[in-house]
Amino acid sequence: GAGVSQTPSNKVTEKGKYVELRCDPISGHTALYWYRQSLGQGPEFLIYFQGTGAADDSGLPNDRFFAVRPEGSVSTLKIQRTERGDSAVYLCASSLGRGANYNEQFFGPGTRLTVL
Amino acid sequence: DQQVKQNSPSLSVQEGRISILNCDYTNSMFDYFLWYKKYPAEGPTFLISISSIKDKNEDGRFTVFLNKSAKHLSLHIVPSQPGDSAVYFCAARRSNTGKLIFGQGTTLQVKP
């Protein structure tokens, strides 16, 4: 079946602009996660959803970052007033339910965001 | 505050030999430890996990060992194959949360 898809695959924007990154999870996966990965580092947790609600948003770096998942499927990560330090690969993942299912998260290929 | 650390940025081994990737953690509250593999231009892929109540978990060529007293885990790949060449991330989480804390990664190169 189809895996996790993310659009766009690449996004170049100017400092101060607003961007939206989209994630389509695997059908039936109730949990959805956002991470970002900078060069030479591991993925850094941002937020995860259980259904429509944010179960943990402790990784969002500041109030310029916001994510939604209004119908419990597709999610959008929104970044306002982008800064050069926001440049990274933004990874989305999804998984089944809870408990041990949290271990196996299925990742998309990521969106590479470049802020000039 | 790096709670999960992989101190070796890279490792090179000969095909057929054993690969040992190491990971250290600082938070004794972690309940699960995981290994993910990543190829270029792809997202990470889950490889194997271990619960904090166990000290070993094996899946085919992959075995993860956990030493809780040392706050250390390792991934053994035997025998190593060229297709295993990738970046390997160690990760950890607490029970009842999907939040994964990742290490910096180790690039494994398996030479034919």
Report yes or no: B91 at the A interface, CB cutoff 8 Å. yes
- The mean pLDDT value for A18-32 works out to 97
* C-beta atoms of A48 and B99 within 8 A: yes
Question: Which of the residue ranges A1-5, A56-60, A65-69, B8-12 would you say has the lowest mean pLDDT?
Answer: A1-5
Report yes or no: B42 at the A interface, CB cutoff 8 Å. yes
pLDDT tens by residue, A61-104: 999 999 999 999 999 999 999 999 999 999 999 999 888 888 89
Tokens of A60: 């969002």
Report yes or no: A44 at the B interface, CB cutoff 8 Å. yes
Identify the pLDDT of residue A101: 86
pLDDT tens by residue, A38-60: 999 999 999 999 999 999 999 99
**Closest chain B residue to A43, measured at CA:** B102
Three-class DSSP category at A101? helix
pLDDT band at B75 (very low <50, low <70, confident <90, very high): very high
